[in-house]
Amino acid sequence: MGRKVITTNKKAFHDFLILEKYNAGLVLTGTEIKSIRKGAINLKDSFAKIEDGEAWLYNAHITPYEQGNRFNHDADRKRKLLLNKNEILKMLGKVKKENYTIVPLSVYLENGWAKVEIALAKGKQLHDKREAIAKKTMDRDIARNIKIR
């Protein structure tokens, strides 16, 4: 069946320097998976946190399912991430020791299961963001000049 990307967190690539990526399962209720399949999820201000040896996803907005009536979910509730214990311990060590942040990069469906790609990231300073924008602009100009000729 393969992998179908539902949404990506473009803000994460702009605000953070991505260091290591992990894939995690996502614990959902019945109407949440229906909303995700429709593409009604937003990762804009979301982040992940490790509490009591478990990884949790915060501020991921999943719009309530239209036909869900009373069985609908809270749109901004925290959701459990499914990771190996070794991965959780490795991330926890880097978060505490090196002040990294865990940010979600994308949500995708793999063989019918909702998964999240998360990353250990370090926040960019303002001058780093400006450098990235300048580099992207230069690359775009070079590609445009090559295409013209």
Task: Enumerate the domain spans of the chain.
Answer: 3-124
Contact criterion met (CB below 8 Å) for 61 and 104? no
Cβ burial 17-30 (10 Å sphere, 16+ → b, else e): eeeeebebebebbe
What's the predicted TM-score (pTM) here?
A: 0.79
Q: Of the given ranges (31-35, 54-58, 138-142), which has the lowest mean pLDDT? A: 31-35
- The SS3 call for residue 82 is strand
Question: Is CATH 2.40.280.10 the right assignment for the domain spanning 3-124?
Answer: yes
Burial (Cβ within 10 Å: 0-12, 13-18, ≥19) of residue 107: buried
40-61 pLDDT, tens digit per residue, is 898 888 999 999 989 999 998 8
